[in-house]
Amino acid sequence: MRILSRIVLSGVMAISSVLVSASGLDTLQKFNSDTDGISGQFTQTVHSKKRTQTTSGTFSIQRPGLFRWEYTQPYKQTIVGDGKVVWLYDQDLAQVTKSTQNQTIGDSPAAILSNKSALNANYSLSDDGNSDGIDYVRAIPKRSNTGYQNIRIGFRGDTLANMQLKDSFGNQTTITFSNINTHPQFNRGQFKFTPPKGVDVLTQ
């Protein structure tokens, strides 16, 4: 009887572990299909071989294709995607860089957040366990020239918690999200950008 109990218990534990590991992927797919807009705050930490740099700010995304990232600490930088053009405004340099949006974001993590179709079209997805109460999904690019080895997307419950990126040079970037709102009311003007007077505008 004890042996049978152990077998049954082991089976239940195995089934439970499968259900737990599946929750991250299920949550990601539901988030991707149900979310039309998202806003919040972020902290971004980049670990390279030579140094670690942390920045923070706010973000707004209206799917498909509209986004605004405002870096506020330790420097001020604005990145706006208006659906056709990505504008990058560096206040300290008094410089704006203008580039075509499709070419700029490509298969990048920005594409995952700003376009519903990008997730399943561009990445192979698998559950990647749980750590500190966060369920992770590993996204591996289907193409080899994206610049990223893999991306881990984490959810605490049904709330987007973080993204962990490993690029082709081995650098690790962690973006931690907070104060997430998946039903924001946006003014479409948030996703338009006009270069301030007196700044240099470069086209890539």
DSSP 116-172: TTHHHHHEEEEEEEEETTEEEEEEEESSTTSSEEEEEEEEETTEEEEEEEEETTS-E
**Amino acid identity, position 176:** T
In angstroms, the CA 24 to CA 133 distance is: 11
User: Smallest Cα–Cα separation from 108: which of 157, 198, 175, 43?
Assistant: 175
In angstroms, the CA 167 to CA 147 distance is: 6
Q: What is the pLDDT, as a whole number, of residue 109? A: 77
Overall residue count recorded for the chain in this entry: 204
In angstroms, the CA 121 to CA 194 distance is: 32
Domain count, the chain: 1
pTM of the model: 0.83
CATH for 64: 2.50.20.10
The residues, any chain, with a CB within 8 Å of residue 139's CB and separated by 6 or more, are 112, 119, 123, 124, 125, 150, 151, 152, 153
In angstroms, the CA 174 to CA 44 distance is: 6
For the chain (204 residues), the mean pLDDT of every run of 10, in chain order, is 36 34 82 96 93 96 95 96 96 96 82 91 94 95 83 96 92 96 92 95 93
In angstroms, the CA 13 to CA 30 distance is: 26
Phi, psi of 125 (to 5 degrees): -110, 145
Domain range spanning residue 60?
2-203
Tens-digit pLDDT profile for residues 115-144: 999 999 999 999 999 999 999 999 999 987
